Structure 1
Amino acid sequence: MTAVDREPGLSVRLKLTLSYAGFLMVAGVLMLLAGWVFLTRVPHFGFVFPPEAQRSTLRAFAPVGAFTMLCLLVFGLGGGWFLAGRMLAPLHRITDATRTAADGSLSHRIRLPGKDDEFRELADAFDTMLARLEAHVAEQRRFAANASHELRTPLAISKSLLDVARADPDRDPRELLDRLAAVNTRAIDLTEALLLLSRADQRAFARERVDLSLLAEEATETLLPLAEKHGIALETSGEIAPTTGSPALLLQLTTNLVHNAIVHNIAETGGEDTAGETGSVRVTTAVRPTTVVLTVENTGERLAPELVATLTEPFRRGADRIHTDQAGVGLGLAIVERITRAHDGTLTLAPRPAGGLRVTVELPADPAKDSPEPGPKRGPRPEGRP
């Protein structure tokens, strides 16, 4: 980006200097005029001179006044230049930091010393902006590297399959077509997930009234066949939870959470610790004074807090999934986090003591005055049984 061409002008320091000097000169002239009026126009003080005496006084007073104004001018210019430099010194540091950031160095910080004032507030705000920008750029670089790797993988697999088929023309093409179709489906899912992430980051959506409880029911009904196939019980309950946002994005958020809760669950065949147990997913909605809450809980393996803290990172996958054919593209919770942030909400992930995960999405409540009062509560609604 090129700088905008502008005509050269006076520096701010010179403008402030001239302003200080001009103000001081005006104040000096007013003081001299006040003194002259006091000496010549105030009879009750006994200092009123006759006209001839006034002329002689003016001739004597003029050189002193001129010398005084000259001294005020010199003092105003010198003092104004010094004071303007002191006042603008923090601004120079902020300008230097801006140029450094424009050159690509986002790690530099101003860290302006001194007491709290307007310049310190500006410097602190600039440092905060740089910190967030640096973190965002680092995140985007990691995301781009991961996305490149993930998109390259299905292409490499497709190339390998085609090379094998070319080397063995007598091989049954149906197996090749099935594997190519699976790889292509995965690449399409990944591309759509990346586009959805970009849309959420840009907040390129219209806001309208949305009831989270209805979205929860729609998501669970859509994923009911998947839950039944793998022996997972779905249950929805809670209050009418109105908020504002994109219905499509919030439905995607809810669907991702429920899908992840099904995928990360107790294995259908059971293990040493889970034999005979049934996996379950519970989706609830609630209303708070200024927010609405969507909570999705699922059974599963015990998760370490350190692992849970990384699950919203792009392409981060849990160690175990109950079915490899539903492994997804590693963007489910990353999309949830971006959609939540785009709707000015908060996302909280916490491991359940008995195993599994509790995910809470808190969004601003619908501020419309005609919003219905919270309730009635929706009773537990089992959506699927093993």
Structure 2
Amino acid sequence: MLVIGLVGGWIVAGRMLAPLTRITRAVRKAENGSLSHRIELEGRDDEFRELADAFDAMLAQLEARVSEQQRFAANASHELRTPLAVTQTLLDVARRSPNPDDGELLERLRVVNTRAIDLTEALLVLSRADQRSFTREPVDVSLLVEEATETLLPLAERHGVAIDISGDITPAAGSPALLFQLTTNLLHNAIVHNLPEDGTVWVTTGVEHEWARLTVENTGERLTAQSVSTLTEAFQRGTERVHSDHAGVGLGLAIVKSITRAHDGILTLTPRDGGGLRVTVQLPVSAPA
């Protein structure tokens, strides 16, 4: 009986500890930098299976975030290298030219330098939002919309775009500076990516089902669901953005996505049936003052 008991206990213990061995092996592989490994524990739905599934989900999220950060770093390096290379080329040409046109050279250098500064500031805003290093305060999104519209009204007039604002008081909790950046980016994007003439931007605010809701729609070229799904990736540009006088730095909607996520909100992008884009930002409603 003693021998049978020891053998039986050893077999049962081995079967009970086998899942822990697989989980430990996966943890050590993740510790060494291998995030593609998954436990994929089979069997009945017990505590070990629940732990293994949770660990697999965590590994999948970590792998996706690391891959996203690697793509972002590569794209950021490329974007920062471009204005620096252009500046170096302009200076080399001016040095070799016998009769340099200082006025034209300075203007081109100013444009390139402004683009580099805008890109750097956008990267700083994106980093600040990702780190969530801000204090949450009560914010009325409708007031931010009015302020952003007033700031971008001259740009809309130059592009021949009409802006229509409607909605009610929309209380939310977050960083006023970051939420203003979010609103400005959405409005700027809707103005620039619009029809060549007689375009329209609709901005609505309100509270719906315990969410502060901001919706920005614009007329424009027809978009597919696949192309819309890539617009929030860093340094993704539409065809019109590349050739416009307000090309941006390719981080407008990426910053919107990051700020929305930092405020525990929901960002939804959908193509409009008649052409253009509809962007909806949902933020948790703040308690009334």
TM interval, short-chain normalised: over 0.9
Whether the aligned pair in 2 keeps the contact of 1:241 and 1:286 (CA below 8 Å) is yes
Identity %: 71
Instruction: Provide Cα deviations, 1:18-75, integer angstroms capped at 9, x if missing partner.
Output: xxxxxxxxxxxxxxxxxxxxxxxxxxxxxxxxxxxxxxxxxxxxxxxxxxxxx77x77
Look up the match of 2:264: 344
* Alpha-carbon distance in structure 2 between the residues aligned to 1:218 and 1:246: 15
Q: Does 1:334 align with 2:254?
A: yes
The SS at the match of 1:326 is: coil
Aligned residues between the structures: 289
Which of 94, 104, 118 is matched with 1:175 structurally? 104
Q: Counterpart of 1:126?
A: 55
- Equivalent position SS for 2:240: coil
Q: For 2:276, which of 339, 356, 366 is the aligned residue?
A: 356
| Secondary structure of 2:245's aligned partner | helix
Aligned to 2:93: 164
How far, CA to CA, are the matches of 1:119 and 1:211 in structure 2? Answer: 47
Q: How does 1:19-98 map to 2 (within 5 A)?
A: 80-98=9-27
Q: What are the superposed Cα offsets for residues 62-106 of structure 1, whole Å, 9 maximum, x if unpaired?
A: xxxxxxxxx77x777655544333222111101101111122221
What is the CA–CA distance in structure 1 between the aligned matches of 2:178 and 2:6, rounded to whole Å? Answer: 62
Alignment of 1:1-386 (within 5 A): 80-268=9-197, 278-321=198-241, 324-366=244-286, 368=287, 371=288
Aligned partner of residue 139 in structure 2, secondary structure: strand
* 1:384 alignment partner in structure 2: none
Output the amino acid matched with 1:267. P
Q: TM-score, normalised by structure 2?
A: 0.95
- Give the Å deviation of 1:323: 6.3
What secondary structure sits across from 1:215 in the alignment? Answer: helix
* TM-fit CA distance, 1:117: 1.2
Uncovered stretches (5+) of structure 1, i.e. residues with no partner? 1-70, 269-277, 373-386
Residues 257-293 of structure 1: per-residue CA shift (max 9 Å, x gap) = 000000001114xxxxxxxxx1111111021122111
Task: Determine helix, strand or coil for the equivalent of 1:195.
Answer: helix
Distance 1:115 1:200 in 2: 42
Identify which range, 329-338 or 319-328, moves more after superposition.
Answer: 319-328
> What is the CA–CA distance in structure 1 between the aligned matches of 2:174 and 2:17, rounded to whole Å?
44
The one-letter code matched in structure 1 to 2:246 is Q
Task: Confirm or deny: 8 A CA contact 1:266 1:322 kept in the other structure.
Answer: no
Q: C-alpha separation between the residues in 2 aligned to 1:318 and 1:186?
A: 18
Offset from partner CA, 1:125-150 (integer Å, 9 cap, x none): 10001111111111111111111110
Flag the 1:80–1:322 CA change in 2: closer, same or farther, 3 A: closer
Root-mean-square deviation (Å): 1.7
Taking structure 1 as the reference length, the TM-score comes to: 0.72
Residues 322, 104 of structure 1: alpha-carbon distance in 2 compared, 3 angstrom cutoff:
closer
Tell me, which stretches of 5 or more residues in structure 2 are unaligned? none
Separation of aligned partners in 1, 2:154 and 2:234: 27
Q: Distance in 2 between matches of 1:95 and 1:249?
A: 42
- Answer whether contact 1:345 1:361 (CA < 8 A) is retained: yes
Partners of 1:77 and 1:238 lie apart in 2 by 75
Verify the 8 A CA contact 2:241 2:248 in the aligned structure 1.
Answer: no
Larger Rg: 1
- What displacement does 1:322 show? 9.3
Task: Name the CA distance, whole Å, in 1 between partners of 2:103 and 2:6.
Answer: 90
Shift of 1:204: 1.2
Give the distance between the partners of 1:131 and 1:169, measured in 2 at CA. 59
